[in-house]
Amino acid sequence: MRITSKLVGVGVLALMTGCSTLSSLNPFSHKDKGNQPAPLVELKGSMAVRTAWKLDVGKSQGYELSPALAGNTVIAVGADGTMVRAEVDNGRQIWRAKAGADLTTGPGTDGSVIAVGAAKGMLMAFDMDGKPLWKAQLSSELLSAPAVGDGVVVARSIDNRIVGFDAKTGQKKWTVQRTVPPLTLRMAPGMVVRDKEVMIALPGGRLLSLILATGAPHLEVEVGVARGATELERVTDIGGYPVIADNEVCAATYQGRVGCFDLNSGSIRWTHDISTDVGVAVDQRFVFVPDDKGALFAFNRDAGTSAWKNDKLAYRRLSTPVSYGRAVAVGDYQGYVHFLSREDGSFLARAQTDGSAITSNPLVSGSNLIFQTQNGTLTAIAVE
């Protein structure tokens, strides 16, 4: 992928000032002028999809504000501090509240507590009715949505400090610090709770599993392998959320690899070279991932062999995909959701949201796929 001179200049400035992250002017924030997005061709869809409901939650203002499920409800936020909880079946709003601060992360929840990251490194917790419980100051900005599980709220700030708090009281329980690479992309690597542990995607292409109760490390996995002579060439951050399926975890990195790894030992099941800034989708048969040029790949999950590739959405800045039924769905920079056959990658259908980019992590609830756009529209698309 060609990196513009403007990005390189920002990278140099980040090094000079000691900043640990690139600005929002990274390779994925702007279209390469030499590579125009592929035009959309008319589809004769073989699958019926429709918009089940839409709900405005406030603009994301460049942040990756992914919604979260809590039972049969969905929780979503806007950057202006708006918090909304709605029923997933019909979009009926249960409550709408203000956090009292601008928000920089999507919500994390275990169905008892809602946690969000706010401006200036503030972590805020609310009950399931949107009423404040507690807040805590972290060491730097929060971009990754907090993870909540086993009575602990886990937050990671961009200085790679991970902190666990008591979910009820906000009391700090433990802190883990990891080295920050000289340069990282300004992304929101995800955290996923599994049983008594939390799996954390880190800058530098690593996955770290911590015991929720104590913060003790259980497993560390190298997903991306840094290559190149310069710090810019060696950036290999994990995009999106790691996906845990059965006894393995799958993830992908920028300028690195996509692969699946054993959850117990961290050993490699399989990997392929790829460059992406978004997450993967995993089902029983396949692992799906778009690269930074807009091609969507499917790999056989058991052996990692290539199943298919669709490059007809080139440079449309694809989102993290989601697998549902016979389709895999992926959003783009114009707010379209494309449905492709999970078997061969052919187009099945297309749906519109609000015309703005989809950068958030999609959700599946029943027969609805839920996407949040940068303009703040939460859209449920029903697959029939």
Q: Is the pLDDT of residue 229 over 90?
A: no
Q: What percent of the chain has pLDDT over 90?
A: 82
Contact by Cβ (8 Å): 307, 301: no
Q: Which residues have a Cβ under 8 Å from the Cβ of 221 and sit 6 or more positions away?
A: 206, 207, 208, 249, 261, 266
Question: What type of residue sits at position 321?
Answer: P
pLDDT confidence band for 80 (50 / 70 / 90): very high
Tokens linked to 300: 């056989």
pLDDT over threshold 90, residue 62: yes
Task: Kindly report the backbone phi and psi dihedral angles of residue 249, in degrees, each rounded to the nearest multiple of 5, phi listed first.
Answer: -125, 135
pTM of the predicted model, to two decimals? Answer: 0.91
Q: Is 197 part of a structural domain of the chain?
A: no
In a domain, 29, yes or no: yes
308-334 residue pLDDT tens: 999 999 999 999 999 999 999 999 999
Q: Which of 112-116, 224-228, 320-324, 356-360 has the lowest mean pLDDT?
A: 224-228
Dihedral pair phi/psi, residue 210, rounded to 5°: -120, 145
Whether 79 is covered by a domain: the verdict is no
Q: What is the pLDDT of residue 140?
A: 96
pLDDT of residue 42: 87
Query: Which residues does residue 339 pair with via DSSP β-bridges, in sequence order?
Result: 329, 349
160 domain-assigned: no
Q: Domain for residue 276, yes or no?
A: no
By the 8 A CB rule, do 66 and 104 touch?
no
- Quote the mean pLDDT of the chain: 91
Residue 26: which domain range? Answer: 1-36
CB-based contact 66:106 (threshold 8 Å)? yes
- Confidence category of residue 73, pLDDT binned at 50, 70, 90: very high
Q: Does the pLDDT of residue 185 top 60, yes or no?
A: yes
pLDDT at 4 over 50: no
- CA gap 172, 157 in Å, rounded: 15
Task: Record the tokens describing residue 84, joined without a space.
Answer: 């909304």
Q: Per the structure, how many domains does the chain have?
A: 1
Indicate the pLDDT class of residue 144, thresholds 50, 70 and 90: very high
Residue 8 confidence (pLDDT): 30
- Average pLDDT (296-300) is 98
CA distances from 38 to 82, 199, 250, 277, 318 (A): 35, 35, 28, 19, 12
The amino acid occupying position 268 is: I
Do the beta carbons of residue 252 and residue 225 sit within 8 Å?
Answer: no
Is the distance from CB of 65 to CB of 224 less than 8 angstroms? Answer: no
Residue 1 lies in a domain: yes
Domain presence at residue 111: no
Residue 34 is given by DSSP the state T
Q: Is the pLDDT of residue 379 over 80?
A: yes
> Which residues face 95 on adjacent strands?
85
Q: What is the mean pLDDT of residues 178-205?
A: 91
Instruction: Give CA–CA dist 379/156, Å, rounded.
Output: 28
Got the DSSP string for 166-231? Answer: ETTT--EEEEEE-PPPSS--S----EEEETTEEEEEETTTEEEEEETTT--EEEEEE-S---SSST
For residue 27, being part of any structural domain is answered with yes
